[in-house]
Amino acid sequence: SAVISQKPSRDICQRGTSLTIQCQVDSQVTMMFWYRQQPGQSLTLIATANQGSEATYESGFVIDKFPISRPNLTFSTLTVSNMSPEDSSIYLCSVEEDRYQPQHFGDGTRLSIL
Amino acid sequence: SQQGEEDPQALSIQEGENATMNCSYKTSINNLQWYRQNSGRGLVHLILIRSNEREKHSGRLRVTLDTSKKSSSLLITASRAADTASYFCATDRQGAQKLVFGQGTRLTINP
């Protein structure tokens, strides 16, 4: 399966700032996804990162708050903008190599906002 | 909204015992997947079971799927301390290219 590198692994940020999280895959993949996991909770899909076009956002998530880029089939970024303490979560990148394979996840980015 | 509901929310057993976790869902699916997460790290894929399959094995793991009841179970046999983790089911719904995760079961194996 694909090897996924996610950076940074953790960060502590000030309120009102923005942070960009990177997700790099060692092979070309069809689909890339971004999830949020709030403390003690399950995973919630933020958006599907589409190569060459705007990401597809889930209900409750907007591009202004979570801009996503996917310039090619092996790389994507998620920016968490204008952060507040409520954004403190683990953010995870996942990839799907083809429609009949499971999704595989990066190690996640643990984000704390002061 | 989360489609999957898992029970129990937390399970604590002795090493060597078997652990069973259940997952229910609401809509038709293409497949159901089970994942493990250690201490808030990334998820590790365990097993994918397709909608036309009823049972699947991988080592000490056994997954069943009952599409008529919209439910699945994950059995871990001969548990070990290293199995301590949170376990999530995720459904790949028909007509939607995305996973919906259950709330998870926090499993603790006591030595």
- B48 near A CB under 8 A: yes
Residue B23, phi then psi, degrees to nearest 5: -140, 130
Chain A partners of B99 at a C-beta cutoff of 8 Å? Answer: 33, 45, 103
- How many angstroms separate the CA of residue A111 from the nearest CA in chain B? 12
Question: By the 8 A CB rule, do A28 and A74 touch?
Answer: yes
Task: Quote the pLDDT of residue A106.
Answer: 93
CB pairs under 8 A between A and B: 51
Residues of chain B with Cβ-Cβ distance to A37 below 8 Å are: 40
Task: Give the tokens for residue A108.
Answer: 């996640």
Task: Check: CB of residue B90 under 8 Å from CB of residue B102.
Answer: yes
* pLDDT tier for residue B2 given thresholds of 50, 70 and 90: very low
B43 part of contact set with chain A, CB < 8 Å? yes
Cis omega (within 30 of 0) for bond into A67 = no
Q: Calculate Rg over the CA atoms of chain B.
A: 13
Q: For residue B27, is pLDDT > 70?
A: yes
Which residues contact residue A30 at a Cβ distance below 8 angstroms, ignoring those fewer than 6 apart? A73, A96, A97, A98, A99
Cβ-proximal residues to A89 (8 Å cutoff; 6+ apart), any chain:
A36, A37, A38, A39, A111
DSSP A53: S
pLDDT score recorded for residue A91: 97
Distance, in Å, from the CA atom of B104 to the CA atom of A1, rounded to the nearest integer, reads: 24
C-beta separation of B81 from B109 below 8 A: yes
Chain A window 25-84: which residues touch B at a Cβ cutoff of 8 Å? 31, 33, 37, 41-45, 48
Give the Cα separation of B108 and B101 in Å (integer).
Answer: 20
Q: A89 pLDDT band (50/70/90 cuts)?
A: very high
* Per-residue pLDDT at B4: 65
A13: contact with B, CB 8 A cutoff: no
Nearest CA to A70 among A109, A36, A110, A30? A30
At B88 the pLDDT is: 96
User: pLDDT tens, A78-87?
Assistant: 999 999 999 9
